[in-house]
Amino acid sequence: MDDIVKQALAKWPNVPHCYGWLGLDARGQWYMRDDATQAAGPFPQSKGSLLRHDKLIDFIQRNYEPDATGQWFFQNGPQRVYVELEAAPLVWRVMDDFSLHTHTGQPGELTRVLMDGEGRLYIATPSGLGIVHTQDMGLAADALERGIWPAPEEMTAAELPERFGFVRSPAATHASATR
């Protein structure tokens, strides 16, 4: 976490959390979701505006992590901005040597490979579950065919959040808890 974020947390410890305003798609792209976007439907059906500002994206990615309940958030100064997830909290990029890096640039160590009913490939690591980026499926297929990675376990996409301890829609969870 950035030092400036830690300082803001110390200075303003009781800022309310933010839900529904930020989304992460299955390709590791961030979306800002204003009131109109949120009113139009849940993420990813109603995505919002694609973030393109590199420094903002880097700041979000440096301060992106899960809470104790598996809800992923971006720590924006003293405020937690909970992230709506299209597929999983991480998007894995496969390097030419079959090593892994998240969409945030962090390396990962493969522990399990999973495939859902739609043929999407997921990687479980100690840092969390992520979907393999669509542009890297050729490299992933090579790693599987060569036996570098273990054969994928089959699992439905609906099973993944509970099995791997993450929440796809913190906004929906928050809304149901406040009713």
Question: What are 135-169's pLDDT values in tens digits?
Answer: 999 999 999 999 999 999 999 999 999 999 999 99
User: How far is it, in rounded angstroms, from Cα 113 to Cα 122?
Assistant: 6
pLDDT of residue 104: 96
What integer pLDDT is reported at residue 9 of this predicted model? Answer: 59
Separation CA 113–CA 125 (nearest Å): 9
Query: Closest Cα to residue 23, out of 82, 63, 71?
Result: 82
Closest to 83 in 3D by CA, of 72, 92, 93, 91:
72
Among candidate residues 87, 90, 145, 156, the one with its CA nearest the CA of residue 118: 156
Given this model, what pLDDT does residue 8 score? Answer: 65
Spans in the chain with pLDDT lower than 70: 1, 4-5, 8-13
Specify the pTM: 0.90
Strand 121-125 and strand 112-115: the pairing is antiparallel
| CA–CA distance, 35 with 121 (Å, rounded to integer) | 33
pLDDT of residue 78: 83
pLDDT, residue 15, reads: 72
Residue 176 is predicted with a pLDDT of 83
